[in-house]
Homo-oligomer: A and B are copies of this chain.
Amino acid sequence: MMDVAIIGGGPAALSAALNLKIRNKDFILLGGNEKVTGLMKAPQIDNYLGLKGMSGTELLKGFREHAISMGVEIRKEKAYNILDMGGYFSINTGNEFYEATSIIIATGQGKAKYYEGEKEYLGKGIGYCATCDGPLYRNKSAAIIAENEEGEEEANFLSEICSEVYYIPAYRTEPKLRENIKLLREKVNAIKGDGNRVQSLMTDRRELQVDAVFIIRNIIPVNQLIEGLELDEGSIRVDKNMAASIEGVFACGDCAGKPYQIAKAIGEGNVASLSAVRYIEKKNIDNNVNT
């Protein structure tokens, strides 16, 4: 059982990792796809005190180097789902399950715009992780809607299992797909079903009969990541210690609300990690008293 799982690999996550390392906690940092961050697009940032006039890419590189030099391991795995096991958490990364006493969510701005039908059929044919749920659709047909290249690997995996795989990218580069995958450059309008299960996907050009739809977003919407997490205007509701509404869960950075600023994210990452340390240490004392 690890002490903490940090979900995210941006400034808030890396800032949190520093304190956990300094405080000798056992943790993992699930950084996901490192190319996916709005920060990379900023040409010049002048308001992070002490580091003037650097680009977002340079800043993030320096942040990562700092964390790595302190012994932090940045894993490229992505958390798809976190289960509250009552006293600890189970984190599903598609290929692995991890267990941790507490969670720090630092997944960035989750500006997810849901597709029509998405919320209704989530878990009833719609999923966010083909590697996780794909085996349920052996010899059936599936569509993948992908915001980034991660979807390609998912599609290639599905193509070995499913009878038919459609790939609908929401990005410009040319996907590298197996021959039996049908690439569609179309706009998704809705996901439809019979009330119990997904039956089809409507694009601006056609209706595809499918049994499953996988949506590969840059960021998993936080309320999909862990059930029952209270939100406030779409962001994770936190108190001043960055504690979220579920005991043992902390949040920091853009996913915890505006303003979307590096300095705020790093400050919150610091606070969240110290709160997590306090939570773990209290829990350890309580456990020792009880046994």
A48 to B266, CA, bound (A): 8
Which of B18, B261, B271 meets A259, CB within 8 Å? B271
* Least CB distance, A104 to chain B, in whole angstroms: 14
The residues of B that contact A266 with a CB separation of less than 8 Å are 48-49, 263, 266-267
Write out, one digit per residue, whether chain A residues 253-285 have a CB within 8 A of any chain B CB (1) or not (0): 000010101011111111100100000000000
Q: Is the CB of B47 within 8 A of A48?
A: no
Interface size class of A (residues with CB under 8 A): 20 to 34
Of the listed stretches A32-40, A62-70, A194-202, chain B binds A62-70
Q: Is the CB of B259 within 8 A of A15?
A: no
A14 within 8 A of B: yes
The residues of B that contact A47 with a CB separation of less than 8 Å are 15, 18-19, 22, 270
* Least CB distance, A274 to chain B, in whole angstroms: 5
The residues of B that contact A87 with a CB separation of less than 8 Å are none
A49 to B106, CA, bound (A): 15
A59 within 8 A of B: yes
Q: Is the CB of B263 within 8 A of A15?
A: yes
Nearest CB in chain B to that of A239: its residue: B240
The residues of B that contact A263 with a CB separation of less than 8 Å are 15, 266-267, 269-270
The residues of B that contact A14 with a CB separation of less than 8 Å are 49
**Contacts known (A48-B50, A49-B63); A264 close to B267, Cβ less than 8 A:** yes
* Least CB distance, A8 to chain B, in whole angstroms: 13
* Least CB distance, A208 to chain B, in whole angstroms: 44
A57 to B257, CA, bound (A): 32
A169 within 8 A of B: no
Beyond A52-B70, A263-B267, A263-B269, 18 extra complex contacts between A and B, CB < 8 Å: A15-B47, A18-B46, A47-B270, A48-B266, A49-B66, A50-B50, A50-B62, A50-B63, A50-B66, A51-B66, A52-B66, A259-B271, A259-B274, A261-B274, A264-B268, A265-B267, A266-B266, A267-B267
A/B interface sample: 21 pairs, CB < 8 A:
A15-B49, A19-B47, A22-B46, A46-B70, A48-B50, A48-B266, A49-B66, A49-B67, A49-B269, A50-B59, A50-B62, A50-B63, A52-B70, A240-B240, A259-B271, A259-B274, A261-B274, A264-B271, A265-B267, A266-B267, A267-B268
